[in-house]
Amino acid sequence: TEARPVSGGRRVVAVVNQKGGVGKTTTAINLGTALAAVGRKVLLVDLDPQGNASTGLGVAVRDRAVSSYDMLVNDVGIERVATPTKVPNLWVAAGSVELSGVDIELVDAPDRALRLRKALNAAESLDFDHVLIDCPPALNLLTVNAMTAADAVLVPLQCEFFALEGLSQLLKTIERVKASLNPHLTIEGIVLTMFDKRNNLSAQVGEDVRATLGHLVYETMIPRNVRLSEAPSHALPALVYDHACAGSQAYLQLAGEMLRRSKPAVAA
Ligand code: ADP
Ligand code: MG
């Protein structure tokens, strides 16, 4: 996978799957925390009207005076929207229910698909190493904005029977965005989530996905782990709530694999 930083060394990754409940937000939070833990400066942009990533990182609704919505619609700069979290090096541009109106509010704006890219490029001086965009469960204008602003798309895929259903539509959308809006867009990778090694179906799905899309699938699989699902109710990333649990360790491993993959190969 070729790394093509948008500007400086910054890498923008959109976490996308139009299905809900597949682990996008959990991945955005914990991958972001893992990257921050190894000293990278990380911005998580919460583009989901549900704002789960923001809540999970301890940014309460009352503390979201400005949000990613204002960045997209009202030209409010990231330097005003980005809020520090309890995790050193990790910032969040909070989500807001108002995001659910963006499709309609920007319907007549000629640059409606470019709003997030413009906002991120205007903030180059902020010096983030990684921007992770947590997308809503839809292939809508918000997700298109994320893909247009991104260097690459990261797809969490839940290890269940219908895992691959919808993936071809997602891949088509990526191709469409590449053709018309962002020719440099690549697929960062596919990460299998909620893997249960005692469950035959889960293992079978994992094998099927690797057989079909092998080169794109991360070796790291995120296990089904109750600590990952408990952490948001404590307003903490799992990596802070319980650093040692299997889920946290898997996200650390995923971050390592991602950093190794995006490092340009050096000739021996
Ligand atoms: P999405 O953002 O794609 O809708 P979430 O990350 O919010 O998905 O995950 C959906 C639900 O599943 C949440 O309640 C979350 O806490 C839980 N969850 C996510 N990943 C795991 C996992 N690996 N093990 C157990 N529960 C998980
Ligand atoms: Mg989510």
255: left (phi over 0), alpha (psi -120 to 50) or beta: alpha
Separation of alpha carbons 33 and 87, rounded Å: 7
CA 18 to centroid of ligand 2, rounded, Å: 10
pLDDT level of residue 265 (50, 70, 90 thresholds): low
Atom index in ligand 1 nearest the CA of residue 232 equals: 16
Evaluate if residue 121 carries a pLDDT over 60: yes
Separation of alpha carbons 134 and 95, rounded Å: 9
Domains and CATH numbers, the chain: 11-261 (3.40.50.300)
User: Rounded to the nearest 10 degrees, how much is the dihedral formed by the CA atoms of 170, 36, 76, 154?
Assistant: -10
CA 232 to centroid of ligand 1, rounded, Å: 10
Evaluate if residue 1 carries a pLDDT over 80: no
Question: Which pLDDT score is estimated for 8?
Answer: 52
pLDDT in tens, 124-179: 767 899 999 999 999 999 999 999 999 999 999 998 878 788 888 999 999 999 99
Count CB neighbours of 255 within 10 A: 23
Q: Which residues line ligand 1 (CB under 6 A)?
A: 20-26, 52, 137, 193-194, 222, 224-225, 228-229, 232, 247
Rounded to 10°, the helix 167-180/141-149 angle is 60
Whether residue 15 contacts residue 95, with contact meaning beta carbons closer than 8 Å, is answered with no
Question: Which pLDDT score is estimated for 230?
Answer: 98
Q: What is the ipTM of this complex?
A: 0.99
pLDDT in tens, 34-61: 999 999 999 999 999 999 999 999 999 8
Ligand nearest to the CA of residue 17, numbered in listed order: 1
Atom index in ligand 1 nearest the CA of residue 195 equals: 23
CA 94 to centroid of ligand 2, rounded, Å: 13
Look at residues 181, 258, 260 and name the one whose alpha carbon lies nearest to residue 218: 258
Q: Cα(first)–Cα(last) distance of the chain, in Å? A: 18
pLDDT in tens, 220-249: 999 999 999 999 999 999 999 999 999 999
Average pLDDT, the chain: 92
